[in-house]
Amino acid sequence: MTARDMAWRSLGAAMTLGAVVATLMEPAGSLLALFWFLVALGGVLLLLNGKRLPQTLRAERRGHYHTAEAVHAARIKRGRRS
């Protein structure tokens, strides 16, 4: 795992932990709880996928219809297969 990948995963862990703590500090039934839930969900996605998530979002934003192939091509271009 590269340092960049570890940084993205650490950011995901921090987002998840921060969102859970913020949700527990809010009063029950608050609309902010929904916001913190979405932040925690985004954190879990970053925690699991690491640097591949921003790369996939960039490929989607650029209009690639075959996002998986675009991500694979970027990996091959960098000279890695995993």
CB contact set of 74 (below 8 Å; sequence gap of 6+): 55, 59
Which tokens sit at 16? 């998840």
Whole-angstrom distance, CA of residue 78 vs CA of residue 56: 15
Element (H, E) at 42: helix 31-49
Q: What's the helix, strand, coil split of the chain in %, to 5? A: 80, 0, 20
Q: How much is the pTM?
A: 0.64
Per-residue model confidence (pLDDT) at position 28: 77
pLDDT tens for each residue of 50-65: 878 877 777 777 776 6
- Which residue is it, tokens 């960039």? 58
